[in-house]
Amino acid sequence: MIKLICSDIDGTLLNAERQLSKKTIAEIGKLKDKLPVILISSRMPSAMKHLQKQLNIINHPIVAYNGGLIHINDDIKQSTTIPFEIVNKIIDLNEDCLHLSLYNNDNWFAPQLDHWTERETNNTKVNPTIKHNNEVLKHWKTHRKGAHKIMCMGDTKLVTKFYDLLSENFSNDIHLYRSKDTYIEIAPKQISKRSAIEFLIESEFGLNMSEVISFGDNFNDIEMLEASGLGVAVGNARKEVKHIADKTIENAKEDGVANFLNDYFKMS
């Protein structure tokens, strides 16, 4: 018996226009009063809340930064950051001047208004504060703040080189996700989408993982799908995700999640 729905956003729940389709809104609308629907993403909270509002699930938990920040009705239930010292070292290693955006809570600091900043703004509907990495670090040092996420963006070869460098130096401290060839999403080592769900089902719902259905498409969804009672990959998911999933459905742009929810809950 499924009692909790968890879904990734980009590449999973959104269509080709990076929007929620009418069908997705309608299908989740049928279920939202019967069981919790949790959006779980590498995005920052404000890049997810407008989607919560469209789905009318604003009172349901939201999991941002791949599990690094958990909100319920704007109350922070759990927060895990990359320590300031590690953030500082990562910035120092960026000799190729790749774009490094820094995130803490609902603040996004982009080093300059460039192609990458504009791309993320278009994708997430959130505007950053433009501030050089060193200026952000100067402020964070005073307040001993860390980063919920660091987003590295740039030329594929340079990003790969930086990925290898980070892997070599910080394998015990951070997770590295290649969501695209030109991206690295950097998160605290101790968290994941799976750990966030486990926290919520214990602290808020009194459930177990066998009662969870989860949807995803990328490497950072693998642990979540493997641990869920029913782990579902969309048709456009990476082959590694499809391999571990219990089921593969239609592509995100074909309303795969909405179609599956309609069929599944008709039968159950």
Q: What are the pLDDT digits (tens) for 1-16?
A: 999 999 999 999 999 9
Domain hosting residue 68, numbered range: 4-79+191-267
- Encoded amino acid at 247, one letter: K
Same structural domain, 183 and 90: yes
Same structural domain, 103 and 234: no
Q: Kindly report the number of other CB atoms within 10 A of residue 24's CB atom.
A: 24
Same structural domain, 197 and 73: yes
pLDDT of 229 reads: 97
pLDDT of 268 reads: 62
pLDDT beyond 70 at 81: yes
When divided into structural domains, the chain yields a total of 2
Calculate the average pLDDT of the chain: 95
Picking from 134, 157, 188, the residue at the C-terminal end of a domain is 188
- Encoded amino acid at 9, one letter: I
Whole-Å CA distances, 132 to 91, 96, 108, 113, 158: 11, 15, 12, 11, 20
Same structural domain, 73 and 203: yes
Q: What is the mean pLDDT of residues 182-202?
A: 96
Q: What is the CATH number of the domain that holds 147?
A: 3.30.1240.10
Q: Kindly report the number of other CB atoms within 10 A of residue 54's CB atom.
A: 15
Place 180 in a pLDDT band, splitting at 50, 70 and 90. confident
pLDDT of 185 reads: 95
Place 179 in a pLDDT band, splitting at 50, 70 and 90. confident
Backbone angles phi, psi at 193, to 5 degrees: -65, -35
Helices (H), the chain: 22-31, 46-55, 84-92, 115-124, 133-143, 156-170, 193-200, 222-227, 239-244, 256-267
Q: What is the CATH number of the domain that holds 18?
A: 3.40.50.1000
pLDDT of 266 reads: 86
Place 155 in a pLDDT band, splitting at 50, 70 and 90. very high
pLDDT beyond 80 at 195: yes
- Encoded amino acid at 257, one letter: V
For 268, which DSSP code? -
pLDDT beyond 70 at 52: yes
Picking from 139, 164, 188, the residue at the C-terminal end of a domain is 188
